[in-house]
Chain A
Amino acid sequence: MLVIRRDLVEELVAHARADHPREACGQLLGPEESDRPERYVPMTNADDPDAQGSDYRFDSREQFAVYKEATERDEETVVVFHSHTRVPRRPLTDSGLPEAYPSVKDIEYMGLQPGVHFVIVAITGPDSDYDLRSFLLDDAGEVVEDDVQVVENYMFSHTGAGDVPDRS
């Protein structure tokens, strides 16, 4: 289950729209072992923009700079985000949007980050509707879809973090 603040969802969707038709990517950081995303860091998509199709890859130097800062702040990556845009190889679903489901390549890389949620935002254009889904891999390497709960703030949601009171 992924509990995420609405303003963070809006940041992800805005980034996906701004970069369309290229895939947008980024990460949500939060306190270590909290499973609670607190801030969004958009990442440069370093995948070759001239390559066929649209993939994403974090810029490795930028990734290191973000990692270093996060470590100093006792933060870690809670969510890796990328968008699925409208490209010929990706069929549209009945909703008219690309499928917000991990590709074979997505799953290969998901396996490198156990416990991290992978959020996909599917859009067809800068002004289109969107579909947001979240996944992680279980211990057997199978894709499991998260139940996504969008909240206004974490104080009144069941985040599971010990230092945040749950609503009684």
Chain B
Amino acid sequence: MSATVSIPTILRTHTGGEKQVKAEGSTLQEVIADLEANHPGIKDRLVTDGALHRFVNVYVNDEDVRFAGGLDAQVPDNGTVTILPAVAGGR
């Protein structure tokens, strides 16, 4: 079960500058664990206290995983995982 993961600029320091990398896993949790194995340090940028970090939005195919089970979201074979920086501010 392999997915293509799109990496935002801010996290490309972990992927040697690559915009897209492959990762194995059938859930987002497994995909992130596989990312961490190949790109150490990236997990801490995505997950905090067992949940997705508020600074990132993660999408499996076209759906925001916050509406699709969070870290338990299913990742289909040949699926896409897109990581975007959250955009917010004001206080």
> Which residues of A approach B to under 8 Å, CB–CB?
23, 25, 27, 43, 47, 53-58, 60-61, 63-64, 67-68, 80, 82, 102-106, 108-115
Contacts and interface: CB of A to CB of B under 8 A. Distances in A.
Nearest to B19: A71
Interface in B43-61: 55, 57, 59
A34 B68 CA distance: 35
Interface stretch (B25-33, B34-42, B69-77, B82-90): B82-90
Contact of A60 (B55, B57, B90, B91): B57
A47 B90 contact: yes
B80 to A, nearest CB: 10
Given A60-B64, A64-B64, A112 B89 contact: no
Contacts of A25: 87
Nearest to A57: B88
Nearest to A53: B91
A interface secondary structure, majority? mixed
Closest 6 CB pairs of A and B: A55-B90, A112-B85, A106-B89, A57-B88, A58-B87, A105-B91
Nearest to B90: A55
Contact of B62 (A57, A64, A106, A109): A64
A57 B89 CA distance: 7
Nearest to B82: A64
A109 B87 CA distance: 6
A109 B91 contact: no
Contacts of A114: 9-10
A57 B87 contact: yes
A112 B90 contact: no
A123 B41 CA distance: 41
27 contacts: A43-B87, A47-B88, A55-B89, A55-B91, A56-B90, A58-B86, A58-B87, A58-B88, A60-B57, A60-B84, A60-B86, A61-B67, A63-B84, A64-B57, A64-B59, A64-B62, A64-B82, A80-B87, A103-B89, A105-B90, A105-B91, A109-B86, A110-B89, A111-B10, A112-B55, A113-B9, A113-B87
